[in-house]
């Protein structure tokens, strides 16, 4: 169980738009969200929220993106840059839950909605371009501090002052941090991949990729 009750700090949503990176290059992305007082969680995603790259982002298994507030200070100190709210395109910024204490399959009540953890986030270079922190994407994968995705089990509304409560902890206790380490750094660890695959709520994309890796190892 978490050592402290999670606290929601920021909510954000937004549709894809053209933005410029530090070099003045324009690119289209959904990573630059607008902070909100409330968001509506649907099984298909968040109302007023969308992604530009539908092949690699979005979908029901990745309807909600959550990022721990605790990592903001780490990245600000390391890169010497003050970060905006929802700097990584997350929908909910929360303290009290980090990748090592969140298990795939955990179910949380947030506001009037119920969500279930499905996978760690797979970062892309748009994180570097959005924040101006060159090398941040690589640090995300090196540390496993990626944040995580959830599916929506019960649709509802989340307010900035809503509570986030653990409803059920998955008994297999496969943390996002453990899964991230295997996914990014232990591509040949068949036993570890099978442990992750043993969690039924695992996102289908991760399930397909891990199964393919195992087949390639045989």
Residues 6+ apart with CB under 8 A from 216: none
Confidence of residue 93 (pLDDT cuts 50, 70, 90): very high
What are 69's two structure tokens?
Answer: 């507030």
Per-residue model confidence as pLDDT tens digits over 148-190: 999 999 999 999 999 999 999 999 999 999 999 999 999 999 9
pLDDT interval class at 129 (50, 70, 90):
confident
Q: Check if the beta carbon of residue 14 is closer than 8 Å to that of residue 34.
A: yes
Task: Convert the pLDDT of each residue in 1-13 to its tens digit.
Answer: 445 789 999 999 9
Q: Say what the pLDDT of residue 1 is.
A: 40
Give dist(CA 188, CA 185) in Å, integer.
Answer: 9
Residue 191, pLDDT > 80, answer yes
pLDDT at site 52: 43
For residue 137, CA distances in Å to 122, 126, 140, 172 come to 9, 8, 5, 29
- How high does pLDDT run on average in the chain? 90
* 146 has a pLDDT exceeding 70: yes
Collapsed DSSP state (helix, strand, coil) of residue 208: helix
**Is 172 within 8 Å of 102 (Cβ atoms)?**
no
Neighbouring C-beta atoms of residue 86, cutoff 10 Å? 24
pLDDT score recorded for residue 28: 63
- List of domains in the chain: 7-217 (2.40.33.20)
Alpha carbon separation from 81 to 11, 132, 152, 174, 177 (Å, rounded): 21, 8, 34, 33, 25
Examine the pLDDT at 17 and tell me if it is beyond 80. no
């Amino acid at each position: 169980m978490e050592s402290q009750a999670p606290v929601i700090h920021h909510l954000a949503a937004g549709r894809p738009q053209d933005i410029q990176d530090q070099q003045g290059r324009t690119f289209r992305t959904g990573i630059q969200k607008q902070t909100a007082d409330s968001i509506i969680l649907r099984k298909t995603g968040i109302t007023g929220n969308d992604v530009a790259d539908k092949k690699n982002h979005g979908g029901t298994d990745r309807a909600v993106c959550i990022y721990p507030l605790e990592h903001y200070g780490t990245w600000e100190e390391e890169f010497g840059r003050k970060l905006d709210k929802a700097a990584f395109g997350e929908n909910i910024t929360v303290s009290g839950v980090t990748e090592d204490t969140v298990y795939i399959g955990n179910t949380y009540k947030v506001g009037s909605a119920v969500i279930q953890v499905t996978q760690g986030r797979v970062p892309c270079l748009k994180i570097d371009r959005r924040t101006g922190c060159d090398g941040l994407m690589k640090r995300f994968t090196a540390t496993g501090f990626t944040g995580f995705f959830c599916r929506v089990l019960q649709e509802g509304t989340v307010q900035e002052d809503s509570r986030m409560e653990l409803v059920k902890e998955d008994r297999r206790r496969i943390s996002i941090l453990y899964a991230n380490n295997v996914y990014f750094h232990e591509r040949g660890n068949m036993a570890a991949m099978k442990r992750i695959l043993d969690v039924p709520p695992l996102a289908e994309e991760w399930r397909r990729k891990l199964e393919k890796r195992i087949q390639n190892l045989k």
